[in-house]
Amino acid sequence: MDVKELAKKYKQYVIDLRREFHSHPEPSWKEFETSKRVKRELDRIGIPYKVIGDPGLVATIEGARNGKTVALRADMDALEVTEANDVEYISQNEGISHACGHDAHMAMLLGAAEVLNEMKDEIAGTVKLIFQPAEEMVSGAETMIKGGCLDGVDTIFGIHIVGFLPIGLVCAQEGARLSSADTFKLTIKGQGGHGGMPHQGVDAVIAASAVAMNLQSIVSREIDPSESAVVSIGMFNAGTRNNVIADKAELEGTIRLFNLEIRKQMPEIIERIAKNTAQAYRADAELTYIPGVPPTINDAVCAKRAVETVRKVVGDDAVFEVPPVTGAEDFAFYSLKVPGVFAFLGAGNEAKGAIYPQHHENFTIDEDALEIGTALHAQYALDFLSE
């Protein structure tokens, strides 16, 4: 049997697993029962594994002959979203749901494990299967890497199932795919006073408002127009009551970028604008900049290989390109260490109600995509190891 035939053989197995995972979601760093379930499947298949950064684990399939090593990755955590879908396998854990598709990722990777294990006598090399916690907190990948999941790995492949692409389309193009995601906090310090006599104080609200507005000039006036960037302030807290001049205001925001060099410059740019703007209103500004996840950038050689894998598994018409997306993914940490490719797998289908975006309470997928994802994982590994 070839990969496509085996993926079809395990299609219902993968669907059933996805629904089981979907019914029992767990949040970041608490995927203990999920990890146990993955272990039971690996034990049943006969694939050895080791725990890294509990509840993470890495399984290993050794081919019949020596060769290179390829890693395949799935994430395990769910979101703090109350599911609104009317399905038999609705989330049983109140306030938690697989609204991002990680249930599908685990199921597809276990399906690929079945396929590759059945074909291991044909494999020259090693396949590592990474089941990672805490992607939603963009902290699981770094923990897995520190635990040695990439030791000896020559390339890594990952899939994110998405609703914004119709079923049957796959995007695996080279270059930046997902943005970085850094956080900043600004504390604007003024001087309190009576709301009726504002000249006696230093109004932190006015100063912070000016800072918030001036930060928007970063994208329009300090970054090359050919580059994409986002500066968003999501929190603004100040004041105690309506007739008191606030002596302090706090702003929190996010920075999204695709260019690593511009990312390095952002702390200095934000601090310069914030301090100088605040000083214009006789206030002071203090910046705390928190690096998060770097941009996810697909290696050119890996992307070319992945596109050929898509052609084999789905066909020429399945190959699709989309602009970079300003969401973030901690797969980026893997691809900083080894050449990698992160693919978007279309699972949208209006006829099946799969029309909602990730993180929506009604997010769902066309489960026919699971067979495609299973085959893509396995075929990419075989294509790399046969080179």
pLDDT reported for residue 284? 98
> 331 near 179, Cβ under 8 Å?
no
pLDDT in tens, 30-72: 999 999 999 999 999 999 999 998 999 999 999 999 999 999 9
**pTM (predicted TM-score):** 0.94
Mean pLDDT of 106-127: 97
Q: How many whole angstroms separate alpha carbon 226 and alpha carbon 68?
A: 38
Q: 347 — alpha (psi -120 to 50), left (phi > 0) or beta?
A: alpha
pLDDT tens string 336-353: 999 999 999 999 999 999
Residue 124 has pLDDT above 90, yes or no: yes
Mean pLDDT over 214-226 rounds to 96
Average pLDDT along the chain: 97
Write down the pLDDT at residue 165: 97
Residue 219 has pLDDT above 90, yes or no: yes
Mean pLDDT of all residues in 142-159: 98
Q: Is 2.160.10.10 the CATH classification of the domain at 181-293?
A: no
Res. 147: pLDDT tops 90: yes
Taking the CA atoms of residue 295, residue 306, residue 135 and residue 89 in that order, the dihedral angle to the nearest 10 degrees is 140
CA distance 56 to 25: 15
The one-letter code for the residue type at 247 is D
CATH code of the region 3-177+296-385: 3.40.630.10
Residue 98, pLDDT above cutoff 80: yes
User: What is the tens place of the pLDDT at every residue in 281-326?
Assistant: 999 999 999 999 999 999 999 999 999 999 999 999 999 999 999 9
Q: Which two tokens stand for residue 62?
A: 């050794």
Which pLDDT value is given to residue 97? 98
What's residue 189's pLDDT?
98
Q: What is the mean pLDDT of residues 244-261?
A: 97
- CB atoms near residue 94 (< 10 Å): 8
Q: What pLDDT, on the 0 to 100 scale, is given for residue 53? A: 85
pLDDT at site 1: 77
Range(s) for CATH 3.30.70.360 in the chain?
A: 181-293
Residues 329-336 have a mean pLDDT of 97
